[in-house]
Amino acid sequence: MNALDVKDLHKNYGEFKALDGVSFSVKDGEIYGLIGPNGAGKTTALRTISTLLTIDSGEIDVYGTSVKDEPDKVRKIISYLPEDAGAYKDLTGRKYLTFMANFFADGDGAKAIVDRGIEIADLEDRIDSKVSTYSKGMMRRLLIARAIMPQPKLAILDEVTSGLDVVNAYEIRSIIKSIAGHGVSILLSSHNMFEVELLCDRVGMINKGVLVQEGTPEQLKARFNANSLEEVFVKAVGE
């Protein structure tokens, strides 16, 4: 069974077609990258899959469960980390993870979730510092831990390394690879073509609400006689 099946997805904002018949799938255990220029429909697609926006027409199934018909059930098996996500800055990292864990379990169950989050974040003694003192990289590690610690079957990550320096971006990518290696399917969006090429098993390229290309990074580079996914992106979007 696929982790995600998106079929003929449409989403309009008035007369504007944000998504115009988008179809793609994410295999179980796969890292799938959804890329495109600003305004192409990437974030709309992620928010619709995450049940935050309603579907105008089409179908979305997460591990066989319909987003349209059973959104509450879908929310129990997914996690969505938007680009602009934040945390409560007056709490310590540990207290923030504890607060979030209580939405999923209580007692020993919540403690196990928090322990998993602390391990993922890997902030050492800074886990007991206030979030307000965290660097951007530390904040992103905490937020990824929050997203992954409940053990979702599908994690949806939007621009997860945006604004990070080289070292922090490298560490975040290592965390994502580790997560995927432990049975979590991942759908991610990124403007960083190097990152997408490095991380993703397959890539879907969206432009003006339409999926214009799909394949492995190697397939896409061969198709466009390109040396990099960045070159593919420029050629595909320019067509």
- Compute the average pLDDT of residues 95-106: 93
For residue 28, what pLDDT is reported? Answer: 94
The DSSP line for 16-51 is EEEEEEEEEEE-TT-EEEEE-STTSSHHHHHHHHTT
For residue 239, what pLDDT is reported? Answer: 56
* Greater pLDDT, 74 or 88: 74
**What distance lies between CA 190 and its chain's CA centroid?**
9
Domain covering 1-77+153-168+180-239: architecture: 3-Layer(aba) Sandwich (3.40)
Q: Tell me what percent of the residues of the chain surpass a pLDDT of 90.
A: 72
Structure confidence by residue, pLDDT tens digits, 183-207: 899 999 988 888 899 999 999 999 9
For residue 12, what pLDDT is reported? Answer: 92
For residue 237, what pLDDT is reported? Answer: 79
Count of H-run helices and E-run strands, the chain: 9, 10
Residue 154, by phi and psi: left (phi above 0), alpha (psi -120 to 50) or beta?
beta
Q: Tell me what percent of the residues of the chain surpass a pLDDT of 70.
A: 100
Q: Using CB atoms within 10 A of its CB, is residue 80 exposed (0-12), middle (13-18) or buried (19+)?
A: buried
Given a cut of 90, is residue 181 above it in pLDDT? no
For residue 131, what pLDDT is reported? Answer: 94
- What is this structure's pTM? 0.91
Average pLDDT, the chain: 92
Q: Using CB atoms within 10 A of its CB, is residue 83 exposed (0-12), middle (13-18) or buried (19+)?
A: middle
Structure-block tokens of residue 31: 């890292």
Q: Are 32 and 62 in contact (CB under 8 A)?
A: no
For residue 157, what pLDDT is reported? Answer: 94
Band of residue 235 on the pLDDT scale cut at 50, 70, 90: confident
CA distance 50 to 157: 10
CA angle 161, 166, 170 (to 5 degrees): 65
Domain ranges (residues) in the chain: 1-77+153-168+180-239, 86-151
Structure confidence by residue, pLDDT tens digits, 166-180: 888 888 898 899 888
Structure-block tokens of residue 16: 């504007």
- Compute the average pLDDT of residues 65-79: 95
Whole-number Cα distances in Å, 22 to 43, 109, 154, 159, 170: 13, 38, 19, 20, 31
